[in-house]
Amino acid sequence: MPKLTEIRWHARAGQGAVTAAKVVAETALSADQFMQAMPEYGPERMGAPIKAFTRICDEPIEIHNNIEFPDIVVVLDESLLDIVDVTEGMKADGTLIINTCSPAAAVKQALGVAEAQRVACVDASGIALDTIKRDIPNTPIVGAMIEVTGVIDMESFKGLLAKNLGKKFGQEMIDANFAAVDRAAQEVTVA
């Protein structure tokens, strides 16, 4: 059977979820995997709740529907937990990764997810403010996701990050993003 991993991203428009969905897919391609990345389009306005999707597979992906039963759910904005059912359809052994200062055990209990479902928490916004100097939590939260799930290769991800950032910014910005990724990977807690 082909090994298919499906990721659903929840964010507010402007937080970089669509970019993250894309960069993760591109990283998978660099390892000769098959991939898809797609945003769910609706009215476009900054701050509105949005979803994006990434599929990664070792064989060609033929399906084009929305992801209903994600293996991994990434939440870039904690305030969405009150208004969106982020765990909807999450696989029985799925992993939820949230941008929050709260400890993973407390968040897991509050969400009431099953014991076998993992909840990983990281202060991606805080890390982004410290390193990149802006609240763009997408890069650090991907670092945490890689640490917790191993869905893509960390060095390949950093390589692509450097390449993409290098087109617009200097080495300083690349270093800041690397620091954000490394710190998130170290600081993420899992329950």
Partner 1 sequence: MLQQKTVASTGNSLVAEAMRQCAPDVMAAYPITPQTTIVEEYAKFVADGRVHTEYVTVESEHSAMSACVGASAAGARVMTATCSQGLAFMWEQLYIAAGLRLPIVMANANRALAAPINIHCDHSDVMGCRDSGWLILFAETAQEAYDNTIMATRIAEHPDVLLPVMTCLDGFITTHSIDRAQVMDDETVKGFVGEYRATNMLLDTDNPVSHGNFAGLGGTYFEFKKQHRQAMNGALKVVKEVGAEFAELSGRPFGVIEGWGMEDAETAIVCIGSTAGNARHVARELRAKGEKVGVLKVRCFRPFPAADIAAALKRLKAVAVLDRSESFGEGGPLFLEVRSALYDLETRVPLVNYIYGLGGADVRLELIERVFSDLSDIAAGNAAPGALQYLGTR
**Residue 41-80 contact track with partner 1, rule CB under 8 A, x = bound:** x------------------x-xxxxx-x------------
Separation of alpha carbons 95 and 186, rounded Å: 17
Residue 37 near partner 1 by CB under 8 A? yes
Write down the least CB distance from residue 22 to partner 1, Å: 6
Give the phi and the psi of residue 56 in degrees, each rounded to 5.
-135, 135
C-alpha closest to that of 73 among 13, 14, 117, 123: 117
Q: What is the C-alpha radius of gyration for the chain, rounded to an integer number of angstroms? A: 15
Find the part of the chain contacting partner 1 (CB under 8 A) among 38-46, 82-90, 138-146, 183-191: 38-46
- Per the CB < 8 A criterion, the answer to whether 9 and 76 are in contact is yes
Write down the least CB distance from residue 73 to partner 1, Å: 18
Residues forming contacts to partner 1 in the complex (CB under 8 A) are 22, 25-26, 29, 34-39, 41, 60, 62-66, 68
